[in-house]
C-alpha cells in the first residue's frame, strides 16, 4: 500500500465533531492536513472546528465543518456536490450504540434499525458517494494527463471504523455487533472491488478495530449497559477507574494514524497488534484452517482435537502472547495480521494459576 501522508492533503472526517473523529481530525491537523468534519449537531461541530484550527501546523491549512446527516444518502450527495472539493482521504468514524444496548428480547425493532443506520449507513453512503465522484474525476484527469503528460491522480484512501465486537460477540451488544461486522465485510469486499478501478495503490480501504475507549458516548453507554455485559467486558467499575484502564480517544487516534502510516489494511488498536517478532504467527498456521483451542488452565492438554503441528504453533504463540499481554489492563486481546485473526478471551481476574486463556478461535 502507498504510505499515508497527511501533509497538504484534504481529509474528510465523517463523524468528526466528537470522540474518536474529533481526535483524529486534530491529530491530522497537527500533521499538516486540510480538514473537513461532518456531523449533525451544529454546537459540537463549531467547538470541534475551533479545536482543530488551534491544532494546525500552519495557518494556511483550511478547516471546515458541516452539518450533514450521514444516514441520508441524498444529503450526503448534496453536500459533496455543493462543497466542490473531494477528499484525498475519507475517514468514517460515526457510530456507536449509546441507545441500543440490551438483550435481543428486550430491545425494540426500532433500536435494531437505528443501530444499523447509525453504524453502517452512516459509513456506506458517504463511501459510495465519494467513490463515484473520485472515479469520475480521476477518469477526466487521466484523459487530460494523456494529452498534457501531467502526474497520475494521487492515491485515494477510505478508512472505516469497526470494533473488536466484529470478532467477539458479547451479550448486550446484539444490535451493535452485526453492524460492526457489516463494516468489516464492507472493507473486505470493497478492497477487492477497488482493484477494478486502477492499480492497487490508487484506491485503498483500511478498517480499524478499536476496543473500549473513553468518550462521552462510552460514558452514556455505561448508564444503560446490562450488568452482565459490563462484567464480561470488564467495565463493571466506576468511570474514574475505567479512565485509567482504557485508552482515550486521543490515544486511539494515534494508534489509528500509526496503522495507516504503516500501510495496514486492518488496523488493530490492541497492544498485541504488533507483537514482538517471536510472537508473529506463521503462514503455516494460516493455511491449517483448523480451530485452535488453548490449554485451560495453562499446562494441561487441549480439550479439543488438534490437527497437526501448525495448530500447535499457533496455540503456543497465542498462549505466549496472551500471557504477555496480561501485564496490561484489557481483559481480552486479539492478534490481528493481514491473514489471520486469533482471539483470546483472557480471564485476568483469576490469577491463581497465572493468567488463564479461556477461549480462542481462529477466525480468518
Ligand X SMILES: NC(=O)c1ccc[n+]([C@@H]2O[C@H](COP(=O)([O-])OP(=O)(O)OC[C@H]3O[C@@H](n4cnc5c(N)ncnc54)[C@H](OP(=O)(O)O)[C@@H]3O)[C@@H](O)[C@H]2O)c1
**Would you say the C-alpha torsion 281, 282, 283, 287 has a positive or negative sign?**
negative
Site string for ligand X, 296-315 (x = CB under 6 A): --------------------
- To ligand X, the closest distance from the beta carbon of 305 in angstroms equals 34
Q: Which of 44, 102, 259, 330 binds ligand X (CB under 6 A)?
A: 44
- To ligand X, the closest distance from the beta carbon of 188 in angstroms equals 17
215 binds ligand X (CB under 6 A): yes
Contact indicator for 274, 41 with CB cutoff of 8 Å: no
Cell of 76: 450526503
Contact indicator for 51, 79 with CB cutoff of 8 Å: no
- To ligand X, the closest distance from the beta carbon of 201 in angstroms equals 26
Q: Please enumerate, as own/partner, the contacts of 54-60 that have beta carbons within 8 Å and a separation of 24 or more.
A: 55/26, 55/27, 55/29, 55/30, 56/29, 56/30, 57/7, 57/29, 57/30, 57/31, 57/32, 58/32
249 binds ligand X (CB under 6 A): yes
Site string for ligand X, 7-26 (x = CB under 6 A): --------x-xxxxx-----
Q: What is the DSSP string of 7-49?
A: TT-EEEEETTTSHHHHHHHHHHHHTT-EEEEEES-HHHHHHHH
Cβ-based nearer residue to ligand X, 71 or 127:
71
Site string for ligand X, 109-148 (x = CB under 6 A): ---------xx--x--------------------------
* CA dist., res. 265 & res. 254, Å (int): 16
163 binds ligand X (CB under 6 A): yes
Residue appearing with cell numbers 481483559? 331
Residue 335 host element (H or E): strand 332-336
Q: Which of 61, 89, 93, 204 binds ligand X (CB under 6 A)?
A: 93
96 binds ligand X (CB under 6 A): yes
288 binds ligand X (CB under 6 A): no
- To ligand X, the closest distance from the beta carbon of 303 in angstroms equals 31
**Among the listed residues 139, 129, 48, 28, the one whose alpha carbon sits nearest the alpha carbon of residue 82:** 129
212 binds ligand X (CB under 6 A): yes
Cβ-based nearer residue to ligand X, 71 or 311:
71
Q: Name the segment binding ligand X (CB under 6 A); options: 3-11, 209-217, 279-287, 332-340.
A: 209-217
Residues 6+ away with beta carbon under 8 Å from 12: 36, 37, 38, 87, 89, 90, 91, 126, 130
| Nearest residue relative to ligand X (C-beta) | 19
Q: Name the segment binding ligand X (CB under 6 A); options: 90-98, 125-133, 281-289, 316-324.
A: 90-98
- To ligand X, the closest distance from the beta carbon of 48 in angstroms equals 7
SS3 282: coil
- To ligand X, the closest distance from the beta carbon of 43 in angstroms equals 8
210 binds ligand X (CB under 6 A): yes
Alpha helices (H) along the chain: 19-30, 42-55, 73-83, 109-116, 122-148, 177-193, 216-224, 227-233, 239-245, 249-261, 283-288, 309-325
- To ligand X, the closest distance from the beta carbon of 297 in angstroms equals 30
Rg from Cα positions in the chain: 21
Q: How many binding residues for ligand X (CB under 6 A)?
A: 32
**Among the listed residues 46, 52, 2, 51, the one whose alpha carbon sits nearest the alpha carbon of residue 31:** 52
161 binds ligand X (CB under 6 A): yes
Q: Name the segment binding ligand X (CB under 6 A); options: 65-73, 151-159, 193-201, 329-337.
A: 65-73
Interface positions with ligand X (CB under 6 A):
15, 17-21, 38-41, 44, 68-71, 93-96, 118-119, 122, 161, 163, 210, 212-213, 215-218, 249
Amino acid at each position: 500500500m502507498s504510505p499515508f501522508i497527511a501533509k497538504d492533503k484534504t481529509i474528510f472526517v465523517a463523524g468528526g465533531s466528537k470522540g474518536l473523529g474529533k481526535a483524529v481530525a486534530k491529530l491530522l491537523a497537527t500533521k499538516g492536513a486540510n480538514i473537513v468534519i461532518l456531523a449533525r449537531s451544529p454546537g459540537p461541530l463549531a467547538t470541534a472546528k475551533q479545536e482543530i484550527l488551534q491544532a494546525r501546523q500552519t495557518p494556511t491549512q483550511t478547516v471546515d465543518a458541516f452539518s450533514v446527516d450521514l444516514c441520508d444518502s441524498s444529503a450526503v450527495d448534496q453536500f459533496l456536490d455543493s462543497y466542490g472539493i473531494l477528499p484525498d482521504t475519507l475517514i468514517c468514524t460515526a457510530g456507536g450504540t449509546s441507545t441500543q444496548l440490551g438483550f435481543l428480547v428486550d430491545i425494540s425493532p426500532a433500536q435494531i434499525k437505528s443501530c444499523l443506520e447509525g453504524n453502517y449507513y452512516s459509513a456506506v453512503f458517504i463511501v459510495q458517494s465519494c467513490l463515484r465522484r473520485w472515479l469520475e474525476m480521476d477518469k477526466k484527469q487521466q484523459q487530460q494527463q494523456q494529452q498534457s503528460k501531467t502526474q497520475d491522480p494521487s492515491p485515494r484512501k477510505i478508512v472505516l471504523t469497526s470494533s473488536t465486537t466484529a470478532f467477539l460477540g458479547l451479550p448486550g451488544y446484539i444490535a451493535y455487533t452485526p453492524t460492526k461486522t457489516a463494516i468489516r465485510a464492507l472493507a473486505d469486499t470493497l478492497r477487492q472491488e477497488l482493484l477494478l478501478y486502477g492499480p492497487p495503490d490508487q484506491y485503498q480501504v483500511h478498517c480499524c478495530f478499536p476496543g473500549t475507549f473513553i468518550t462521552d458516548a462510552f460514558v452514556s453507554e455505561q448508564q444503560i449497559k446490562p450488568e452482565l455485559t459490563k462484567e464480561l467486558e470488564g467495565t463493571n467499575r466506576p468511570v474514574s477507574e475505567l479512565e485509567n484502564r482504557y485508552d482515550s480517544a486521543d490515544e486511539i487516534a494515534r494508534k489509528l494514524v500509526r496503522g495507516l502510516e504503516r500501510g495496514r489494511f486492518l488496523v488493530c488498536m490492541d497492544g498485541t497488534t504488533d507483537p514482538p517478532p517471536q510472537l508473529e504467527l506463521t503462514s503455516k498456521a494460516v493455511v491449517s484452517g483448523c480451530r485452535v483451542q488453548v490449554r485451560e488452565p495453562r499446562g494441561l492438554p487441549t480439550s479439543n482435537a488438534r490437527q497437526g503441528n501448525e495448530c500447535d504453533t499457533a496455540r503456543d504463540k497465542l498462549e505466549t502472547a496472551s500471557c504477555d499481554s496480561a501485564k496490561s489492563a484489557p481483559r481480552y486481546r486479539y492478534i490481528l495480521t493481514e491473514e489471520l485473526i486469533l482471539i483470546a478471551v483472557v480471564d485476568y481476574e483469576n490469577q491463581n494459576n497465572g493468567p488463564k486463556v479461556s477461549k480462542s478461535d481462529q477466525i480468518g
